[in-house]
Structure 1
Amino acid sequence: MAASLVISAPASGVGKTTLTLALARAWRNRGLNVQCFKSGPDYIDPAFHAAATGRASVNVDSWAMDRSAVAHLVSRGGNADVVLAEGSMGLFDGVAARGVSGTGATADIAEMLGWPVVLVIDPSGQAQTAAAIAAGLRDYRAGVRLGGVVLNRVASPRHEDLVRRALNEAGIKVFGALPRHAEISLPKRHLGLVQAEEQAEIGKLIDEAARFVAEHVDLDAVLHSAGKWSPQAVANGLNVRPPGQRIALARDAAFSFVYPHMLEAWRAAGAEIVPFSPLADEVPDASADVCWLPGGYPELHAGKIAGNARFRSGLRAFAETRPVHGECGGYMVLGAGLTDADGIRHEMTGLLGLETSFAKRRMHLGYRLAELAAPMPGQQPGARLRGHEFHYSTILAQPDTPLAVVHDATGAVIAETGSRRGHATGTFFHLIAEDR
């Protein structure tokens, strides 16, 4: 049986990712096999988990997935010594309307799997009040069990003592307290952390975080608080169909936002994935029967994409006879033009008429439920798809046939319908799962 824990916090930006990576690497350094997961739709953190553990991490999501899908995904931890699920936002933060098995909150996963929660508490600007917050989180939902807390960014020994005393009086274990330590800060950009594959020094950062946490946190006490978990047998796994038999997948610094569980599900269904790099001016494999362009950061590479004539002409030639689909950033590249943050317009592939702009910056964030009005690779009209949208671009024009009727998590219809023209389709949401 594996020791199981959920790493969560009262809010975003408190240090969940840093603590998760540090614990994972510290225990790996002790010879333990560690398996990580990410609760919620964040597609960046799993790559950091993999860098820390040497094992692929996947997302589990109570809004988009049913219990059997979650159980199927976490079963990969059955041969691990320790399993860690990193939460998103605050412990109980989710959407207003329930999805497939919950609201997307980390607490849903903790309760569903029966894994105790380790809270990361940042007591900056407070002292005993931090204990009140921790006690409130402990008592808010009966099915969620608190294992203890790790304090982060404590200002001084006196500050730590005040907070520890209050937590002890509340009956809450304190596993350790971390003073401020700039050397383990992970770089950020507008969609979150800079991706692990873009950081040459990521191994050193994780090693330093592990050393620092091991110095200030009682790792044995954290393990002792963990649950004892073994995977459950499930009748059904993920309900995800591959978009084709041989999939040309754009994969580089501009096209990297794809959920690991999606690629695994495609391969499990017998599909073959053939990566290519638009930034290297490569074209989709000629033997592929479908091309898929994930999201990423095309706005940071728009000039290069516009100048890579071989890629653009090769993709257009591919789309004359075979389907091409783009998600978010990939959708933008399938469009006619992309205006960057400096107001410069770059010509894209022109397979769709979409025009987007980062000069007119606006955040689009949230779960999406789409009912297809037209087919897309692997899906027929009427299919109901669950996904997540997160970008800062503004639609200037979306003139093609709408691909879907898209609702947010409250059921409201949104304008980002996706598009279809010929063999090309695109959506702003990243597909997570199909409705059964």
Structure 2
Amino acid sequence: MSPGRHRQRPGQHRPRRDATSADLRLYWWGHTASALGSAFTGITLPIIAVVHFEASPGQVSLISAAAVLPMLLLALPAGVLADRIERPRRTLILLDTLSAIAVAAITAGVALEVASIGWLVALCAAQGCVGVFLETVYFIHLRQLVDDAQLGAVRARLQAGQYAAGIIGRLLAGPTIVMFGPAAALAVDGISYLLSATALVCMTPVAQTLRPTAGEPAAGLGAALRTMTTGMRFCFGEPVRRAVLVALFVPGAALAGVGALTAPFLLRVVQVPTQAYGWLFMASGFAGLAGSVLAGRLLAGGRDPRGVLLASSGAAALAGVLLPAAGGPILIATGLAAVGVGLPALFAAVANVAVGPVIVADVDEGTLGRILAALQVVGAASGLLGAVTGGALGELIGVRSALWVLQLGALAAVLLSVPPALRAARRSRRAAAPADLGRTPAADLARAA
């Protein structure tokens, strides 16, 4: 047996990859319930901060930063820990429970009128820390449940549920706050975590995940750093993956900048009526739902996920230029703005589903957590950079001009990266030989770590 392959230890079994339809339904319901609760909190926290605590813009940005910073600080070591988890379902149950406790504490503080801005920062930081592990372990567990060929279709179904829950959550959060108060809206999120944990408890247990016994890293700081950077070396170590990262995260950075400028652009420059503002983002939710369904069908048809990923990333960047083009009579401007917000969301949803099969195409069980963590770090860093850049450009050259710069920059990056990525992917497929099937780049990195 080659050194990079898994060896079976006594009492250990290969992970089961034939989850029953009942298990997958439970997983879908739990995931969707959690997404519904998150939509409630996403609407409620800004309202509590601005309306009830009269938070300054700096304080609001501090709340947002508290949710993102754990990703930058903890994702790489979290990936190392995730690769050592042998029963990810149990870990997910624990993480859902911790999230429910954190939300319950803030809910009680808001209901008793003892909470403050610091409490909201603490909640976002706690959820950010849990989220670092939750996203990685969720993917590892999903890979236990289904084989790689089914992964894209199952992720599409899960993402469709997530978008649908987000639409419903955004519709119901406002009326819930008005009728029952912000504490009740937060309580929905706490209950959703408990429902997610309950669904996981009811699922059929899966055999322990195999971990490599060969090539385990030696002790010491240098070895620990090499282990944590395994995912980074994997992501940037091959031309196709480098191009995919550019095609994914440059538009992602631009999207973060656009997100920071969308509200002032639509409300002040385009002068979209306030009552219509929320409906524009409902359009993006429906577009994301449609994109999830489309992605499932595209990948189920046996198409190369790398091609789907790169094509959808390019389409999202191209569609994004419609937003700064919005202008003219208010009905036309609002329609263009809705298309400019919705179409990128549709194609981004396709890309988000396609990235799963791309990741697992040549990744073994022993390095998946570190690779996902590396992607989280790159995504968080690009998002922060994009948001800061968007705000600075908006101040310097105006909101509409800043949107043009961001969208055209993202489109240029995709157009430059996609053709060489497709050529490199075709070369790698032609060069593949039967003797190479037992080895993967991730296995080589696992041995080197």
- TM-score, normalised to structure 1, is 0.24
From the two aligned structures, give the one with the greater helix fraction: 2
Of structures 1 and 2, the one scoring higher in RCO (CA 8 A, sep 6+) is: 2
From the two aligned structures, give the one with the greater strand fraction: 1
